Structure 1
């Protein structure tokens, strides 16, 4: 289950990620709460903050994939992680000194989004360099476990700290936590990394990556699913803040508990994916079933009558969404040429995160127009529809072969 931890470089990376991601999730919960406080509880303002944080993904992630294929990923990650930590420190200082205003939070969301847009494809494509292709699926699952362990611990700590000492100190703690992942990257042995030769420096590398994906229907199906579910189905944080505060009348700790309950499910799903990784390669069928199950369970959760039942319903939602995301990520990385991995993962992260601005604005509008539960219900229905479309695309690809074989027989 933990085979990829045999690699020394990956152990350094994973250890730093546990600390840094916990701080990241603390900041995400505190940031959403701060925006609601500064805006008088406006879901629309929260949607704007989410949109600004993910808007740079639309502009930068594809080019970051080209950079990831061309340059040293470890050094790139040291730079981006340092910058992300500085953003947390600046927001924390503004908050604890009482100078913070809503427009400043918006600006820092945009700056944070710029560095995150570069960091994401570099970080995703760096995993295979640490562990090699044979342990990639296991490492992706363990990364998901780390991410979701932080999602459990971070918001819970954040909810308590917000109530006790305010949001500003949470931002400062996140800024300091970035030192852990930067330290892990600096301690790595570069000679032990499983690097491939970079593609030759020439014009049109971005276009070549897009043409590569366009010629692969299996990759297109994954990309379509990732975009639809990432945009419409996975706007959890801003939707949960609205549901906790405006639907159920809960404080920050109630919001943190909702994220924690979701993370219990996603951590369970990641652990199951890590166990499966030793038996077989990721399969498209598992990804499609995970996507459809997530949509059904999310829509059902939106109809829960009480805070307690809604929170409990988030556990199976988390398990299903993790089944989808781990299988999708590993499927893409193992299916592509090594020299294309950075560009393909750039497109993957663009579609996975780039729809967040649209999703954030739509969820804010839906919450104000139809009530706080509506973004969860509509996101679930959209995810089911995307899974059905993806399955139909794969069936259509296989059907001509079936017809031909019958004729030849």
Structure 2
């Protein structure tokens, strides 16, 4: 018989403090979702009511940036950044074999016994550049998210090989290294499309810190009541995301629709493609021209799902604000200048709540 997790303290200690995670709940044999994971109705994802993005309208061949179709490709990238905030890319420079190995490695890490993963809990981790956890900020969330993760911060190769988990460190490191030029090129084209030229040092400052997550969404007995990740936007500049073949990523179409009238679009998994989404920092520096994407993840009862994002963010000490050239052109600054560490502290100090994190930088 599965243990009872109806007591919030017992559940919190088991899942969060002891490091069993959501997978530990599932492995215990539970047949229904504990009350702490039940989302309010407006947060739940109705798959039947969501549209599916048409692949031909979302997939951009990055190899064409170096050919006669350059301007057309940049136009497509910019249009996606100005509207949905999401697009998918192929011929991106990351080896396809590596993408498959990343998914395998993620499953290998999370299939380990809880005590093997718990050594990376924040309180006991051998280094601040690696952290195992569950949900997002479980200490402040009213309803927990149905997700476990391992977070790896890149500082240098030697630290990664010393401290990141053996099951995934080599493939995660290669993923970060082989995606760097793609991210830099995308930023270069997006900023250039705004009529601003940034030198290499300024471009590098927008992606000065890179973090790779491996996310694990175990099978859920009541997926209609839960979310894998709640509605949010990413705090950084650009996110690179590897999906597996199961799907479950949803993006909100438009920013001003009220709750209940929102339109959500599922981003379908495409073999060999990587998903790119605009983060809050790119919305801020573009003075609102580019839109960070509000998105969320559903759960499923059919199979466990993995995803592997790379978050490209500025260094904590970097000053972030609208590009001066755009403020001069627009006649107004829509966001204040701030140190990125301040933005991170606010982002990680609150539960997911749509794009509310941007309010911290907005000038009203």
Would you call these one fold, judging by a TM-score over 0.5?
no
Query: The TM-score by the shorter chain falls in which range?
Result: under 0.3
Structure with a larger share of its residues in helix: 1
Point out which structure has higher relative CO (alpha carbons under 8 A, 6+ apart): 1
TM-score normalised by structure 2 residue count = 0.26
TM-score normalised by structure 1 residue count = 0.24
